[in-house]
Chains A and B, each alone.
Chain A
Amino acid sequence: MELLTTRHVSKSYNGRMIIRDISLRLEEGELVSLLGLSGSGKTTLLNILAGLVRPEEGQVFLCGQDITGAPGHVSYMLQKDLLLEHKRVIDNVALPLVIRGMRKEEARKKADPLFAPFGLDGTQMYYPSQLSGGMRQRAALLRTYLGSSSGVALLDEPFSALDMITKGQMHEWYLQVMARIGLSTVLITHDVDEAILLSDRICLLTGTPGEIHDEIRIETPRDQRKEFDLKPEFLAYKQQIMGILRRQMTA
């Protein structure tokens, strides 16, 4: 079932077109990556999906309902974890519920049972400064999950600030969590390996203005992707994607 779709979305800033005629769909439980070079309009597209920016042309639909330019329907996680340093971890995580009008105590009660599945048990009353980089990202993902009443999360390079080892652990962990909670995700990344490891489909956003020219489906099931980056299929996908990106750059 199609959850989130965009139809012919275009957006310009100061007369310069950033993205053109983007049509994208996200199925329930799916992880779609938007892979592209810097400046290809990935973040602009994510801002449009989040309702933070209204496109000049095109529309965004969530379960068939037009949500163009209306924030609050899908949850959003940016490159930085953006945990608020003055709030305890549990209050950071429960923030989307409080914003929706839930009382603080009630929101805490709802958030608390999710700390264990997200590997954060015991950190509820910590301040963010007491968490490691990986734990901070997990807390931010938990906040994103709690904020997602529709079951759709938009992630803007969420693992890019982590070191290589932590990033690898987070990839494995995210695949497990996604399988357990059934979150549908649009992931922005410029890391080809990350896109292949995590995605069901990869949309290549290339050119100026950015357009989706190619879409690659990763056939290997997500539960069989342990050490996937050491396998020949992984390298084949990587070669294919790198070839497309190089051709686009030359063009």
Chain B
Amino acid sequence: MKRRSESIRRKLLPAGAFCLIILIWWALSAGSLIPEYMLPSPVDVGKAFIGDFPNLMNHARISVTEAVYGLLIGTLLAFALACAMDRFVHLEEAVFPLLVVSQTIPTIAIAPLLVLWMGFGMEPKITLVVLTTFFPIAVGLLDGFKSVDPDAVALLRSMNATRGQIFRHVKLPAALPFFFSGLRISASYAVVGAVISEWLGGFEGLGVYMTRVRKAYAFDKMFAVIILVAVVSLLLMKCVSILRDLSMPWARRRGQQSGNP
């Protein structure tokens, strides 16, 4: 009973904070404290969202497709590279610093180059999403592989387990929480990465829509699309959480026992 009320309280608090922000926003715009062209009221943003809903969904479909493809490819590449770096120490020593350096290059600086090289289709957008989502997953997995208890590896070695069996029974399950933490971060980067790449060239997508409404000074639509991007990112992160719970039932059970979500 106490745990249930704790869970309700934990859900109500952010919902209350969200409502408060909307209320302050509405008060600021209704009281004309901030000009409407700078901050449209939540009601206007809602109307813009509903009025342009089919168009928004059409653009969202493109952006989500790019984000999901990019995230999938990024995950596969990150998984392969993390496994290879775990297996071959020299490869990790050679490649890991380059990976870190690659993260210092701003996404917005690469996007025009990708458009130049690949054109205005989906390819440069997906590539940019791959580049932004790859790093957190690869680093998360590598950290996960390193976090394995060496005694657990010794135990399996004493059973004469092969390298593949040690990976399957000990290393991979130990790395899963790290993998899903990285995947969660990457899922939020994926949609943002797709939108940024669409700003710099393309015909469809939420980034393209955003550029168009900005040029038309339709700030209510601009806010509507910003909220939609946030919602899509949150949904993608939720999907990752569901996938994590399905893949790691033992962790969910432990969380329930300790009262954690």
Contacts and interface: CB of A to CB of B under 8 A. Distances in A.
B201 to A, nearest CB: 45
Contact of A129 (B151, B170, B257): B257
A50 interface: yes
A52 interface: yes
B160 A76 contact: no
Interface string B227-259: 000000000000000000000101101100100
A52 B151 CA distance: 12
A84 B154 CA distance: 13
Contact of A71 (B158, B173, B176, B257): B158
B62 interface: no
Given A85-B250, A86-B248, A130 B257 contact: yes
Contacts of B154: 47, 52, 76, 78
Interface residue tally of chain A, by bracket?
20 to 34
Given A86-B173, A129-B250, A76 B158 contact: yes
- A-side binding surface: helix, strand, loop or mixed? loop
A99 B156 contact: yes
A99 B149 CA distance: 18
A209 interface: no
Interface string A111-144: 0000000000000000101100000000000000
A101 to B, nearest CB: 10
Nearest to B170: A84
B157 interface: yes
Given A52-B158, A82-B149, A99-B160, A130 B165 contact: no
B155 interface: yes
Contact of A96 (B152, B159, B170): B159
Interface string A59-103: 000000000001110011010101011110000000110111000
A58 interface: no
Contacts of A129: 250, 253-254, 257
B247 to A, nearest CB: 10
A168 interface: no
Nearest to B254: A129
B161 interface: yes
B258 to A, nearest CB: 9
A103 B170 CA distance: 18
Contacts, number: 66
A51 interface: yes
B169 interface: yes
Contacts of A100: 159-160
Contacts of B248: 86
Contact of A84 (B157, B161, B169): B169
A85 to B, nearest CB: 6
Contacts of A51: 158, 160
A147 interface: yes
A238 to B, nearest CB: 31
B253 A71 contact: no
A95 B165 CA distance: 11
Contact of B157 (A71, A86, A130): A71
A99 B257 CA distance: 31
Interface of B: 149, 151-152, 154-161, 165, 169-170, 173, 176, 248, 250-251, 253-254, 257
